[in-house]
A = this chain, B = another copy of it.
Amino acid sequence: MNAFAMSTPGHVNPGLWRHPDNRSQDHTDIEYWTSLAKTSEAGKFHGLFLADMLGIYDFYKGPDNIIQVLAGGAQFPHTDPLFSTLDHLSKGRVGWNIVTSYLESAARNFGLDTQIPHNERYEIASEYLDVVYKLWEESWRDDAIVNDPIRRQFTDPERVRRIDHHGKKFSVAGPFSVQPSPQRTPFIFQAGTSTAGKKFAAKHAEAMFIPGMEPHIVRKSVDDIRALVSEEGRDPQNIKLLLGMLVIVDETDELAQAKYEEYLSNSDQEGSLALFGGWTGADLDKYTDDEDFAFSGPGAIQSIIDSWSATIPGGKGIKWTKTRIAKELALGGPHPKAIGSPETVADLLEHWVEVGDVDGFNLSYAVSPGGFEDMIKWLFPELKKRQVFGADYAIPQGTTREQYLTDGKGSRLR
Protein backbone atom coordinates (compact mmCIF):
# COMPACT_ATOMS: atom_id res chain seq x y z
CA MET A 1 0.00 0.00 0.00
CA ASN A 2 1.49 3.30 -1.13
CA ALA A 3 0.16 6.76 -0.40
CA PHE A 4 0.21 8.35 -3.86
CA ALA A 5 0.87 12.09 -3.70
CA MET A 6 2.65 14.95 -5.44
CA SER A 7 4.20 18.19 -4.23
CA THR A 8 1.53 20.40 -5.83
CA PRO A 9 -1.87 21.83 -4.84
CA GLY A 10 -3.88 19.73 -7.34
CA HIS A 11 -2.43 16.31 -8.04
CA VAL A 12 -5.29 14.22 -9.50
CA ASN A 13 -7.92 16.49 -7.95
CA PRO A 14 -7.80 20.00 -9.48
CA GLY A 15 -9.72 22.55 -7.43
CA LEU A 16 -9.66 20.60 -4.19
CA TRP A 17 -7.21 23.13 -2.79
CA ARG A 18 -10.47 25.00 -2.04
CA HIS A 19 -11.67 22.34 0.38
CA PRO A 20 -11.13 23.34 4.04
CA ASP A 21 -9.74 19.88 4.92
CA ASN A 22 -7.12 19.95 2.18
CA ARG A 23 -3.51 20.86 2.96
CA SER A 24 -1.76 19.91 -0.29
CA GLN A 25 -1.44 23.62 -1.11
CA ASP A 26 1.12 23.67 1.78
CA HIS A 27 3.41 21.52 -0.37
CA THR A 28 6.32 23.97 0.01
CA ASP A 29 6.28 23.56 3.79
CA ILE A 30 8.56 20.91 5.24
CA GLU A 31 6.13 20.45 8.14
CA TYR A 32 3.41 19.24 5.76
CA TRP A 33 5.74 16.54 4.48
CA THR A 34 7.23 15.41 7.78
CA SER A 35 3.73 15.26 9.25
CA LEU A 36 2.39 13.26 6.29
CA ALA A 37 5.40 10.92 6.44
CA LYS A 38 4.88 10.31 10.16
CA THR A 39 1.13 9.73 9.74
CA SER A 40 1.71 7.33 6.82
CA GLU A 41 4.38 5.37 8.64
CA ALA A 42 2.40 5.10 11.89
CA GLY A 43 -0.64 4.00 9.84
CA LYS A 44 1.37 1.21 8.15
CA PHE A 45 1.49 2.56 4.61
CA HIS A 46 4.53 0.94 2.99
CA GLY A 47 5.64 4.01 1.09
CA LEU A 48 4.93 7.53 -0.07
CA PHE A 49 4.93 7.51 -3.89
CA LEU A 50 5.59 11.01 -5.24
CA ALA A 51 4.66 12.01 -8.78
CA ASP A 52 6.53 14.81 -10.50
CA MET A 53 6.41 16.62 -13.82
CA LEU A 54 8.89 18.49 -16.01
CA GLY A 55 6.39 20.72 -17.81
CA ILE A 56 2.85 22.06 -17.69
CA TYR A 57 -0.41 20.59 -19.02
CA ASP A 58 -0.84 23.06 -21.87
CA PHE A 59 -2.33 20.75 -24.50
CA TYR A 60 -6.00 21.46 -23.62
CA LYS A 61 -6.83 24.94 -25.02
CA GLY A 62 -3.07 25.22 -25.62
CA PRO A 63 -0.30 25.70 -25.87
CA ASP A 64 -0.81 29.42 -25.36
CA ASN A 65 -3.54 29.15 -22.77
CA ILE A 66 -2.71 27.87 -19.30
CA ILE A 67 -5.45 29.65 -17.34
CA GLN A 68 -7.25 26.43 -16.46
CA VAL A 69 -4.05 24.80 -15.18
CA LEU A 70 -3.15 27.75 -12.97
CA ALA A 71 -6.63 28.43 -11.62
CA GLY A 72 -7.24 24.79 -10.71
CA GLY A 73 -3.73 24.18 -9.43
CA ALA A 74 -3.70 21.22 -11.83
CA GLN A 75 -0.25 19.73 -11.09
CA PHE A 76 1.07 23.27 -11.21
CA PRO A 77 2.91 24.82 -9.46
CA HIS A 78 4.86 21.97 -8.02
CA THR A 79 8.29 21.56 -6.49
CA ASP A 80 11.26 19.72 -7.91
CA PRO A 81 13.94 22.00 -9.41
CA LEU A 82 16.58 21.67 -6.74
CA PHE A 83 17.40 25.11 -5.42
CA SER A 84 13.88 26.52 -5.24
CA THR A 85 12.55 23.45 -3.47
CA LEU A 86 15.37 23.61 -0.92
CA ASP A 87 14.76 27.32 -0.51
CA HIS A 88 11.09 26.64 0.26
CA LEU A 89 11.71 23.73 2.60
CA SER A 90 14.55 25.48 4.48
CA LYS A 91 12.57 28.74 4.65
CA GLY A 92 15.13 30.60 2.58
CA ARG A 93 18.40 29.32 4.00
CA VAL A 94 20.15 28.19 0.83
CA GLY A 95 23.31 29.55 -0.78
CA TRP A 96 24.86 28.51 -4.08
CA ASN A 97 28.60 28.64 -4.66
CA ILE A 98 29.12 28.83 -8.41
CA VAL A 99 32.27 27.12 -9.66
CA THR A 100 32.71 26.39 -13.35
CA SER A 101 34.62 23.17 -12.61
CA TYR A 102 38.33 22.56 -13.12
CA LEU A 103 39.01 18.82 -12.94
CA GLU A 104 39.61 16.94 -16.19
CA SER A 105 38.12 13.90 -14.46
CA ALA A 106 34.85 15.84 -14.01
CA ALA A 107 34.68 16.56 -17.74
CA ARG A 108 35.10 12.84 -18.43
CA ASN A 109 32.12 12.12 -16.15
CA PHE A 110 29.90 14.36 -18.28
CA GLY A 111 30.46 13.09 -21.81
CA LEU A 112 33.52 15.22 -22.65
CA ASP A 113 37.05 14.17 -23.52
CA THR A 114 38.58 17.22 -21.88
CA GLN A 115 37.51 20.35 -20.01
CA ILE A 116 35.84 23.19 -21.89
CA PRO A 117 38.32 26.11 -22.14
CA HIS A 118 38.35 28.38 -19.07
CA ASN A 119 36.75 31.52 -20.52
CA GLU A 120 34.12 29.55 -22.41
CA ARG A 121 33.09 27.89 -19.15
CA TYR A 122 32.34 31.32 -17.74
CA GLU A 123 30.36 32.28 -20.86
CA ILE A 124 28.21 29.18 -20.43
CA ALA A 125 27.80 29.91 -16.72
CA SER A 126 26.76 33.46 -17.51
CA GLU A 127 24.00 32.34 -19.89
CA TYR A 128 22.96 29.69 -17.36
CA LEU A 129 22.51 32.43 -14.77
CA ASP A 130 20.48 34.49 -17.23
CA VAL A 131 18.15 31.51 -17.57
CA VAL A 132 17.76 30.89 -13.84
CA TYR A 133 17.24 34.60 -13.09
CA LYS A 134 14.41 34.60 -15.64
CA LEU A 135 12.92 31.50 -14.02
CA TRP A 136 13.40 32.59 -10.42
CA GLU A 137 12.84 36.35 -10.65
CA GLU A 138 10.78 37.09 -13.76
CA SER A 139 8.31 34.25 -14.27
CA TRP A 140 6.10 34.82 -11.20
CA ARG A 141 4.84 37.98 -9.54
CA ASP A 142 4.96 38.05 -5.74
CA ASP A 143 1.16 38.11 -5.60
CA ALA A 144 0.59 35.32 -8.15
CA ILE A 145 -0.62 32.72 -5.63
CA VAL A 146 -4.07 34.02 -4.71
CA ASN A 147 -5.50 30.83 -3.16
CA ASP A 148 -8.97 32.35 -3.62
CA PRO A 149 -11.96 29.97 -3.32
CA ILE A 150 -14.43 32.66 -4.40
CA ARG A 151 -12.68 33.40 -7.70
CA ARG A 152 -11.82 29.69 -7.89
CA GLN A 153 -8.22 30.60 -8.61
CA PHE A 154 -5.26 28.99 -6.94
CA THR A 155 -2.81 30.93 -9.13
CA ASP A 156 -3.84 34.12 -10.93
CA PRO A 157 -2.98 33.41 -14.60
CA GLU A 158 -2.33 37.10 -15.29
CA ARG A 159 0.59 37.01 -12.86
CA VAL A 160 2.61 34.12 -14.30
CA ARG A 161 4.44 34.13 -17.63
CA ARG A 162 6.71 31.96 -19.72
CA ILE A 163 10.34 33.02 -20.11
CA ASP A 164 10.91 31.73 -23.67
CA HIS A 165 14.69 31.88 -23.38
CA HIS A 166 16.47 31.01 -26.62
CA GLY A 167 20.20 31.51 -26.17
CA LYS A 168 23.48 30.15 -27.46
CA LYS A 169 23.52 27.14 -25.14
CA PHE A 170 20.09 26.94 -23.53
CA SER A 171 16.46 26.97 -24.67
CA VAL A 172 13.88 27.03 -21.89
CA ALA A 173 10.21 27.89 -22.32
CA GLY A 174 8.89 27.99 -18.76
CA PRO A 175 6.88 29.20 -16.95
CA PHE A 176 8.92 28.20 -13.93
CA SER A 177 7.08 25.34 -12.28
CA VAL A 178 7.85 26.31 -8.68
CA GLN A 179 6.10 29.20 -6.95
CA PRO A 180 8.42 31.95 -5.63
CA SER A 181 10.53 30.76 -2.71
CA PRO A 182 11.52 32.99 0.22
CA GLN A 183 14.77 34.09 -1.49
CA ARG A 184 13.71 33.33 -5.09
CA THR A 185 17.38 33.24 -6.18
CA PRO A 186 19.53 31.42 -3.60
CA PHE A 187 22.24 33.62 -2.09
CA ILE A 188 24.99 33.55 -4.72
CA PHE A 189 28.62 32.85 -3.93
CA GLN A 190 31.36 32.60 -6.47
CA ALA A 191 34.84 31.11 -6.06
CA GLY A 192 37.63 31.80 -8.53
CA THR A 193 39.78 34.91 -8.90
CA SER A 194 40.96 34.63 -12.50
CA THR A 195 40.21 37.65 -14.71
CA ALA A 196 37.11 35.92 -16.08
CA GLY A 197 36.15 34.80 -12.59
CA LYS A 198 36.36 38.30 -11.10
CA LYS A 199 34.33 39.74 -13.96
CA PHE A 200 31.69 37.05 -13.49
CA ALA A 201 31.63 37.67 -9.74
CA ALA A 202 31.34 41.45 -10.18
CA LYS A 203 28.18 40.87 -12.18
CA HIS A 204 26.58 37.96 -10.31
CA ALA A 205 28.07 37.22 -6.90
CA GLU A 206 26.72 38.49 -3.60
CA ALA A 207 29.66 36.90 -1.82
CA MET A 208 33.01 35.49 -2.90
CA PHE A 209 35.12 32.75 -1.43
CA ILE A 210 38.66 34.05 -1.91
CA PRO A 211 42.10 32.51 -1.46
CA GLY A 212 45.30 34.20 -0.28
CA MET A 213 48.10 33.92 2.26
CA GLU A 214 49.10 37.56 2.90
CA PRO A 215 46.63 40.28 3.92
CA HIS A 216 48.34 43.12 2.01
CA ILE A 217 48.44 41.07 -1.21
CA VAL A 218 44.83 39.92 -0.81
CA ARG A 219 43.92 43.60 -0.26
CA LYS A 220 44.97 44.35 -3.86
CA SER A 221 42.66 41.61 -5.11
CA VAL A 222 39.85 42.83 -2.83
CA ASP A 223 40.27 46.39 -4.14
CA ASP A 224 40.17 45.06 -7.70
CA ILE A 225 36.98 43.14 -7.08
CA ARG A 226 35.23 46.05 -5.35
CA ALA A 227 36.23 48.34 -8.25
CA LEU A 228 34.77 45.87 -10.78
CA VAL A 229 31.60 45.66 -8.69
CA SER A 230 31.36 49.48 -8.82
CA GLU A 231 31.76 49.39 -12.59
CA GLU A 232 28.70 47.13 -12.68
CA GLY A 233 26.76 49.86 -10.89
CA ARG A 234 26.64 47.99 -7.58
CA ASP A 235 27.65 49.12 -4.08
CA PRO A 236 31.22 47.80 -3.74
CA GLN A 237 30.68 47.06 -0.04
CA ASN A 238 27.68 44.94 -0.87
CA ILE A 239 29.71 41.98 -2.08
CA LYS A 240 30.89 39.99 0.91
CA LEU A 241 34.44 38.60 0.63
CA LEU A 242 35.17 35.51 2.68
CA LEU A 243 38.68 34.20 3.20
CA GLY A 244 39.33 30.49 3.57
CA MET A 245 41.24 29.75 6.80
CA LEU A 246 42.19 26.79 8.95
CA VAL A 247 41.63 27.40 12.67
CA ILE A 248 43.12 25.25 15.42
CA VAL A 249 42.40 26.90 18.74
CA ASP A 250 42.76 25.90 22.38
CA GLU A 251 43.18 27.55 25.76
CA THR A 252 46.83 28.48 25.16
CA ASP A 253 49.18 28.78 22.20
CA GLU A 254 51.09 25.74 23.46
CA LEU A 255 47.99 23.54 23.68
CA ALA A 256 46.86 24.60 20.22
CA GLN A 257 50.31 23.94 18.76
CA ALA A 258 50.42 20.50 20.37
CA LYS A 259 47.00 19.74 18.90
CA TYR A 260 48.23 20.80 15.47
CA GLU A 261 51.25 18.49 15.70
CA GLU A 262 49.07 15.59 16.78
CA TYR A 263 46.65 16.16 13.90
CA LEU A 264 49.61 16.44 11.51
CA SER A 265 50.82 12.98 12.51
CA ASN A 266 47.54 11.59 11.10
CA SER A 267 47.77 13.39 7.78
CA ASP A 268 48.41 11.83 4.39
CA GLN A 269 51.20 13.22 2.20
CA GLU A 270 50.10 11.43 -0.95
CA GLY A 271 46.49 12.55 -0.58
CA SER A 272 47.55 16.17 -0.10
CA LEU A 273 49.75 16.06 -3.21
CA ALA A 274 46.80 14.59 -5.15
CA LEU A 275 44.58 17.54 -4.17
CA PHE A 276 47.45 19.95 -4.94
CA GLY A 277 47.76 18.44 -8.44
CA GLY A 278 44.10 19.19 -9.12
CA TRP A 279 44.32 22.74 -7.79
CA THR A 280 47.54 23.74 -9.58
CA GLY A 281 47.87 21.41 -12.56
CA ALA A 282 51.30 20.40 -11.22
CA ASP A 283 52.06 16.70 -10.76
CA LEU A 284 54.83 16.67 -8.14
CA ASP A 285 55.24 12.91 -8.50
CA LYS A 286 57.44 13.64 -11.51
CA TYR A 287 60.14 15.14 -9.27
CA THR A 288 62.49 13.70 -6.69
CA ASP A 289 62.23 14.75 -3.08
CA ASP A 290 65.47 16.77 -3.46
CA GLU A 291 63.84 19.26 -5.80
CA ASP A 292 63.42 22.71 -4.18
CA PHE A 293 60.31 24.14 -5.83
CA ALA A 294 61.12 27.64 -4.60
CA PHE A 295 63.79 27.73 -7.30
CA SER A 296 62.65 25.30 -9.98
CA GLY A 297 59.74 23.18 -11.13
CA PRO A 298 56.31 24.29 -12.36
CA GLY A 299 55.77 28.06 -12.37
CA ALA A 300 52.25 27.63 -11.08
CA ILE A 301 53.45 26.88 -7.59
CA GLN A 302 56.16 29.56 -7.24
CA SER A 303 53.76 32.22 -6.00
CA ILE A 304 52.26 29.84 -3.45
CA ILE A 305 55.73 29.07 -2.09
CA ASP A 306 56.56 32.79 -2.08
CA SER A 307 53.53 33.37 0.17
CA TRP A 308 54.52 30.56 2.49
CA SER A 309 58.11 31.81 2.65
CA ALA A 310 56.84 35.26 3.56
CA THR A 311 54.37 34.15 6.23
CA ILE A 312 56.00 31.19 7.97
CA PRO A 313 58.61 32.00 10.66
CA GLY A 314 61.98 31.22 9.05
CA GLY A 315 60.17 30.59 5.75
CA LYS A 316 62.92 32.04 3.60
CA GLY A 317 65.34 29.35 4.81
CA ILE A 318 63.05 26.42 4.15
CA LYS A 319 63.88 23.95 1.39
CA TRP A 320 60.51 23.54 -0.37
CA THR A 321 60.65 19.86 -1.30
CA LYS A 322 57.44 18.02 -2.11
CA THR A 323 57.41 16.53 1.39
CA ARG A 324 57.63 20.02 2.90
CA ILE A 325 54.92 21.27 0.54
CA ALA A 326 52.67 18.35 1.52
CA LYS A 327 53.18 19.18 5.20
CA GLU A 328 52.13 22.77 4.58
CA LEU A 329 49.01 21.58 2.74
CA ALA A 330 48.20 18.69 5.08
CA LEU A 331 45.65 20.55 7.21
CA GLY A 332 43.42 23.15 5.61
CA GLY A 333 44.91 22.87 2.15
CA PRO A 334 46.11 26.04 0.45
CA HIS A 335 44.51 28.43 2.98
CA PRO A 336 46.29 30.34 5.77
CA LYS A 337 46.39 28.78 9.23
CA ALA A 338 45.40 30.37 12.51
CA ILE A 339 46.82 28.18 15.29
CA GLY A 340 46.91 29.35 18.88
CA SER A 341 45.05 30.71 21.88
CA PRO A 342 41.75 32.57 21.47
CA GLU A 343 43.71 35.86 21.66
CA THR A 344 46.24 34.80 19.02
CA VAL A 345 43.61 33.57 16.57
CA ALA A 346 41.33 36.60 17.15
CA ASP A 347 44.28 38.94 16.57
CA LEU A 348 45.00 37.25 13.27
CA LEU A 349 41.40 37.40 12.05
CA GLU A 350 41.14 41.07 13.01
CA HIS A 351 44.39 41.76 11.15
CA TRP A 352 42.89 40.17 8.03
CA VAL A 353 39.75 42.27 8.27
CA GLU A 354 41.74 45.47 8.82
CA VAL A 355 44.55 45.00 6.30
CA GLY A 356 42.89 42.68 3.80
CA ASP A 357 39.42 44.32 3.93
CA VAL A 358 37.78 40.89 4.00
CA ASP A 359 34.25 40.65 5.39
CA GLY A 360 34.30 37.19 6.86
CA PHE A 361 35.77 33.70 6.81
CA ASN A 362 35.13 30.16 5.63
CA LEU A 363 36.72 28.31 8.53
CA SER A 364 38.07 24.83 7.96
CA TYR A 365 39.06 22.14 10.38
CA ALA A 366 41.43 19.24 10.95
CA VAL A 367 38.78 17.07 12.62
CA SER A 368 35.02 17.41 12.36
CA PRO A 369 32.94 18.24 14.34
CA GLY A 370 35.68 18.79 16.98
CA GLY A 371 37.33 21.64 15.06
CA PHE A 372 34.07 23.58 14.85
CA GLU A 373 33.28 22.83 18.51
CA ASP A 374 36.66 24.30 19.50
CA MET A 375 35.98 27.49 17.52
CA ILE A 376 32.62 27.86 19.25
CA LYS A 377 34.10 27.16 22.67
CA TRP A 378 37.31 29.19 22.48
CA LEU A 379 37.31 31.64 19.59
CA PHE A 380 33.79 33.03 19.37
CA PRO A 381 33.62 34.27 23.01
CA GLU A 382 36.89 36.15 22.47
CA LEU A 383 35.52 37.80 19.30
CA LYS A 384 32.31 38.64 21.13
CA LYS A 385 34.29 40.22 24.01
CA ARG A 386 36.05 42.40 21.43
CA GLN A 387 32.65 43.33 19.96
CA VAL A 388 33.71 42.31 16.44
CA PHE A 389 31.38 39.31 16.23
CA GLY A 390 27.64 39.54 16.90
CA ALA A 391 26.24 37.88 19.96
CA ASP A 392 23.46 36.57 17.76
CA TYR A 393 22.57 36.11 14.15
CA ALA A 394 21.34 39.32 12.57
CA ILE A 395 17.92 37.64 12.19
CA PRO A 396 17.70 34.24 13.89
CA GLN A 397 14.87 33.16 11.60
CA GLY A 398 16.00 35.17 8.59
CA THR A 399 17.06 34.04 5.15
CA THR A 400 20.67 33.53 4.11
CA ARG A 401 20.58 36.79 2.19
CA GLU A 402 19.30 38.66 5.24
CA GLN A 403 22.08 37.12 7.32
CA TYR A 404 24.70 38.41 4.94
CA LEU A 405 23.39 41.70 3.67
CA THR A 406 21.00 43.31 6.13
CA ASP A 407 21.12 44.82 9.60
CA GLY A 408 18.53 42.57 11.16
CA LYS A 409 15.62 44.82 10.28
CA GLY A 410 15.65 44.02 6.59
CA SER A 411 17.79 47.02 5.61
CA ARG A 412 20.90 46.55 3.54
CA LEU A 413 24.10 46.85 5.57
CA ARG A 414 26.61 49.68 4.80
| A→B interface (CB under 8 Å) | 1-5, 10-16, 18-19, 21-24, 35-36, 39-40, 42-47, 49, 51, 53-63, 66-69, 71-75, 95, 97, 101, 103-112, 152, 170-174, 189, 209, 242, 244, 246, 262-263, 266-268, 270-278, 281, 283-285, 330-333, 335, 360-370, 372-373, 375-376, 380, 389-393, 400, 403-404
Contact = CB atoms under 8 A, between A and B. Distances in A.
A12 B332 contact: yes
- How many copies the complex holds: the figure is 2
A268 B109 contact: no
Contacts of A58: 103-105, 274
18 contacts: A1-B363, A1-B375, A4-B362, A11-B364, A13-B331, A15-B271, A19-B263, A21-B367, A23-B370, A44-B390, A54-B110, A57-B274, A60-B276, A60-B283, A71-B268, A71-B271, A74-B268, A111-B170
Contacts of A56: 103, 105
B55 A368 contact: no
Given A43-B376, A364-B11, A49 B209 contact: yes
B268 A15 contact: yes
Contacts of A47: 95, 400, 403
The 7 closest A-B pairs by CB, nearest first: A72-B271, A14-B271, A15-B268, A43-B376, A60-B277, A55-B105, A55-B106
A44 B392 contact: yes
Nearest to A46: B403
Contacts of A19: 262-263, 266, 366-367
A244 to B, nearest CB: 7
Contacts of A104: 55, 58-59, 63
Contact of A12 (B97, B262, B333): B333
Contacts of A40: 372, 376
B242 A281 contact: no
B361 A46 contact: no
Contacts of A171: 108, 111-112
A302 to B, nearest CB: 18
Contacts of A370: 21-23
Given A19-B263, A104-B63, A393 B44 contact: yes
Contact of A16 (B12, B14, B105, B267): B267
B372 A61 contact: no
A105 to B, nearest CB: 3
A57 B391 CA distance: 40
A24 B266 CA distance: 14
Nearest to A18: B266
Contact of A275 (B75, B189, B332): B75
Contacts of A60: 273-274, 276-278, 283-285
A52 to B, nearest CB: 9
B69 A271 contact: yes
A72 B108 contact: no
Contacts of A368: 5, 11, 22-24, 36
A109 B275 contact: no
Nearest to A72: B271
B16 A270 contact: no
A166 B363 CA distance: 40
B268 A173 contact: no
B333 A376 contact: no
Given A46-B403, A68-B271, A71-B268, 18 more contacts: A3-B372, A4-B363, A12-B246, A12-B331, A14-B274, A15-B266, A16-B366, A19-B266, A23-B368, A39-B373, A43-B372, A56-B105, A59-B277, A60-B273, A68-B270, A69-B271, A72-B268, A74-B268
